[in-house]
């Protein structure tokens, strides 16, 4: 049997959070963490977590799995737990709504603040915006972000300054548009990030790149923003 410890908290009935132990058959060691949760929910419908595509695309089921933020749907039980316990907690640094479900409103408000859409004022809105292969390649490692929140949740700088520091996921997306040759608002975008907190609170801890389920490098994108800001200020 595999021992599974899950963070439980229902604000309507619980005075404080607690860990609850479950057990599943050893066969689940060959499956994904989300499969364990789906199985346990059959016997305990009160267990709350987010999920959707179960293919590592939507980013819904981000959680802390044995101390590392990850997506439950693409994390094998054996990889997470080894021969020990499987320990599931909500994403760190975010308020818990219930069990493994966290409040991501602030996270997505910050995302909206960077205007995550293409801005082009060249007057060619009725035409296709062409891009060279070289310019298109600059977006690799940026556009693949699924906004699961795993990196931002694992960032100590975001824990300390969540109201002002935008965090790795949002800054990765900000650079995705700054680096896009079709976008004509790079000056505006950089200006919005030029204060002392929006981007400069990053301390290069590297948790963001370590936990990214898509293998992206948010810390590298943040460094690219800072280098670009430095060039524009010279």
pLDDT digits (tens, 9 = 90+) for 122-174: 776 678 888 999 999 999 999 999 999 999 999 999 999 999 999 999 999 99
| Contact by Cβ (8 Å): 99, 9 | yes
Q: What is the model's pLDDT at position 129?
A: 86
Closest CA relative to residue 172, chosen from 220, 230, 226, 105 = 220
Band of the pLDDT at 233, cuts 50, 70, 90? confident
Beta-ladder partners of 96 = 102
Task: Output the average pLDDT for the chain.
Answer: 95
> Are 161 and 153 within 8 A, CB to CB?
no
Give me the residues paired with residue 70 across strands: 63
| pTM score | 0.94
**Does 81 score more than 90 pLDDT?**
no
Query: Percent of the chain beyond pLDDT 70?
Result: 98
Q: What percentage of the chain reaches a pLDDT higher than 90? A: 91
Q: How confident is the model at residue 46 (pLDDT cuts 50, 70, 90)?
A: very high
> Given this model, what pLDDT does residue 234 score?
57
Confidence at residue 179, expressed as pLDDT on a 0 to 100 scale:
97
Average pLDDT over residues 74-99: 93
Residue 232 has pLDDT above 90, yes or no: no
If you average pLDDT over residues 89-107, what whole number do you get?
Answer: 98
**pLDDT tens digits, 173-212:** 999 999 999 999 999 999 999 999 999 999 999 999 999 9
| Whole-number pLDDT of residue 55 | 94
Tokens of 195: 């204060």
Q: Show me where the domains of the chain are located.
A: 2-102, 105-233
Give the CATH superfamily of 2-102: Beta-grasp domain (3.10.20.30)
For range 91-101, the mean pLDDT:
97
Architecture of domain 105-233: Orthogonal Bundle (1.10)
- CA distances in angstroms from 161 to 118, 124, 157, 213, listed in the order given: 28, 40, 6, 24
């Amino acid at each position: 049997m595999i021992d599974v410890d899950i963070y439980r908290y229902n604000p309507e009935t619980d005075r404080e959070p607690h860990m609850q132990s479950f057990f599943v058959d050893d066969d689940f060691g060959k499956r994904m963490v989300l499969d364990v949760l789906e199985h346990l929910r059959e016997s305990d419908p009160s267990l709350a977590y987010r999920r959707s595509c179960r293919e590592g695309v939507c980013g819904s089921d981000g959680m802390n799995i044995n101390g590392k933020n990850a997506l439950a749907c693409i994390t094998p039980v054996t990889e997470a737990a080894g021969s020990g316990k499987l320990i599931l907690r909500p994403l760190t640094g975010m308020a818990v709504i219930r069990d493994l479900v966290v409040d991501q409103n602030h996270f997505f408000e910050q995302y909206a603040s960077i205007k995550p859409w293409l801005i082009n004022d060249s007057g060619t809105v009725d035409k296709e915006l062409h891009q060279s292969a070289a310019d298109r390649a600059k977006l690799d490692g940026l556009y693949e972000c699924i906004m699961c929140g795993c990196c931002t949740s694992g960032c100590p700088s975001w824990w300390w300054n969540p109201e002002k520091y935008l965090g790795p996921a949002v800054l990765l997306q900000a650079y995705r548009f700054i680096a896009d040759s079709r976008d004509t608002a790079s000056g505006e975008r950089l200006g919005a990030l030029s204060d002392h907190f929006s981007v400069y609170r990053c301390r290069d801890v590297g948790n963001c790149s370590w936990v990214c389920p898509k293998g992206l490098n948010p810390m590298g994108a943040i460094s690219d923003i800072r280098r670009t800001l430095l060039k524009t200020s010279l």
